[in-house]
Amino acid sequence: MSGTFRQFRYETEESLRIALFQIRANKIRSFLTALGVIIGIVAITMMGTAINGIDLGFEKSLAMLGYDVIYVQKASWSTMGQWWRYRNRPDLKTAYAAQLNRIIADNPDSRLDIAVPQLSTYQASARYRERLLQQTFSLGTTADYLLTASGDLSAGRFFTDAESNSNAMVCVIGDDIAKGLFPNEPATGKSLQLRNNRIRIIGVFRKQGKFLGLFSFDNQVIMPLGAFEKIYGTDNFVTIRVKIRDQKKIQEAKEELTGLMRRLRKLAPDDEDDFSINEQRAFKSQLDPIKNGIAVAGIFITGMSLFVGAIGIMNITFVSVKERTREIGLRKALGAKRRTILLQFLIESVMICLIGGLVGLVTALFITFSIERIVPDFPVRFSPGLVLASLVVSVATGIISGLAPAMTASKLDPADSLRYE
């Protein structure tokens, strides 16, 4: 038994040696053959990298929203675009937050931690002397806002309870606004002009980036509710931000909050909810079809290029078998069994594919690296799983495309092959 194994090992070593000889002797041919696999593997890895990157970017964005914050709003995020379903709902009131907080405080078992009111508008622009920033996002809230939001301040401070309660005209601004309006000087201490009101900047947020590449947290002007109402009026979009105690119990927390909101809204038991409770997971359900679409398209493209590559390799291996008919005859005459010949040609095609796969991987790695360098915001991520997957795919391509020619070779008649011209 060990003799058989030893023989098998030596035959395999011999086959590896022959394969290397062959590839080295036919460099251009081997390269052209491997090209199909190279392209296929680049396609696979780039697709995988893109999907990984989308996930990564998404996770980053979700972290910005906070995993432990849910949002009471008039409309639902997961059915965005169906505005007619929500149009007739009564508006939310910022006062709900205080009412909720009272109920939460009375219930020690509550899954909810704190509710924070938020008024917001996109119809804002910020001016400082001759500089004007359009399309900023103005937001009115309380001093508790920071408990429900991510982000640190790079300068100054957030407004206090006292400032919040006294409706002081102070604000904290995002990094883009600070850079845009005050390119060469500190923003804190200066006064912004919002509509016809002047408001003093007391703090600046550190840069956070965009949420899903759409909405920027660096474009915000955050101020006390009273200040917001004074500038923009009371008729604006209301959100109640609710922080929950345990993000694993988000479902129970949502149910509790629904009950509380129904109470505040005085809904009868058979009335439908006239508000929506949103969480960041709603985005995930919107993103998944996109991700799957990319994956399906990617698999199709990759599959096509690998298929074409495999046909190329099969073709070349058939040519190689034909060219080396005498060699096959000789090896058989000297004692090579069928499986020896089969193995020899299989190893050769697998080796070409594996080399192609490695070249493809390096190319993809290089492309990924370049993208990261040139467009740092573009989400790409390479993973060890991808490396493994592409190597497995390369080997599989090699076996599939080499099998038919290798079988042909192994079944050649030694006497005829030896005489083949």
Applying CB under 8 A, the residues found at the interface with another protein are: 3-4, 6-8, 10-11, 14, 21, 25, 326-327, 330-340, 413-415, 418-419
**Among the listed residues 7, 5, 31, 14, the one whose alpha carbon sits nearest the alpha carbon of residue 344:** 14
- For every residue of 318-369, DSSP letters joined together read HHHHHHTHHHHHHHHHTT--HHHHHHHHHHHHHHHHHHHHHHHHHHHHHHHH
Please, what is the minimum distance in Å from the beta carbon of residue 351 to another protein? 16
Q: Which is nearer to another protein, 18 or 380 (CB)?
A: 18
- 286 contacts: CB under 8 Å, gap ≥ 6: 77, 78, 80
Measured from the Cβ of residue 306, the count of other Cβ atoms closer than 10 Å reads 24
Nearest distance from C-beta of residue 61 to another protein, angstroms: 58
Q: Kindly state the smallest distance separating residue 334's Cβ from another protein, in Å.
A: 5
Burial annotation 43-69 (CB, 10 A radius, 16+ → b, else e) = bbbbbbbbbbbbeebbeebbebbbebb
Burial of 270 (0-12, 13-18, 19+ CB in 10 A): exposed
Distance of alpha carbon 10 from alpha carbon 98, whole angstroms: 81
- Cβ proximity to another protein: between 157 and 339 the closer is 339
| CA dist., res. 181 & res. 128, Å (int) | 6
Which one, 29 or 127, has the nearer CB to another protein? 29
Which residue's CB is nearer to another protein, number 142 or number 344? 344
Beta strands at 197-205 and 191-194: parallel, antiparallel or unpaired: antiparallel
Work out how close the CB of 341 gets to another protein at its nearest, in angstroms, rounded to a whole number.
10
How large is the C-alpha radius of gyration of the chain? 33
51 neighbors 293 (Cβ within 8 angstroms): no
Closest separation in Å from C-beta 46 to another protein: 37
Q: Is the dihedral of CA 35, 36, 39, 45 positive or negative?
A: negative
The least CB distance from residue 337 to another protein, in Å, is 5
d(CA 338, CA 204) in angstroms, rounded, equals 76
Question: Considering the complex, what minimum distance in angstroms separates the CB of residue 327 from another protein?
Answer: 6
6 or 198: CB nearest another protein: 6
Q: Of 120 and 340, which CB lies nearer to another protein in the complex structure? A: 340
Report DSSP letters for 4-59, one per residue: HHHHHHHHHHHHHHHHHHHHHHTHHHHHHHHHHHHHHHHHHHHHHHHHHHHHHHHH
Shorter beta-carbon distance to another protein: residue 157 or 419: 419
Pick the closer one to another protein by CB: 56 or 415. 415
Q: Which is nearer to another protein, 4 or 134 (CB)?
A: 4
CB of 352 to another protein, least distance (A): 17
Neighbours of 326 (CB within 10 A): 13
In the structure encoding, which two tokens stand for residue 310, read together?
């495999």
Task: Give Cα 108 distance to the centre of its chain.
Answer: 38
The torsion angles phi and psi of 273, rounded to 5 degrees, stand at -60, 140
Q: Minimum Å distance from CB 410 to another protein? A: 9
As measured in angstroms, the least distance from the Cβ of 321 to another protein is 16
Nearer to another protein, 307 or 420 (CB): 420
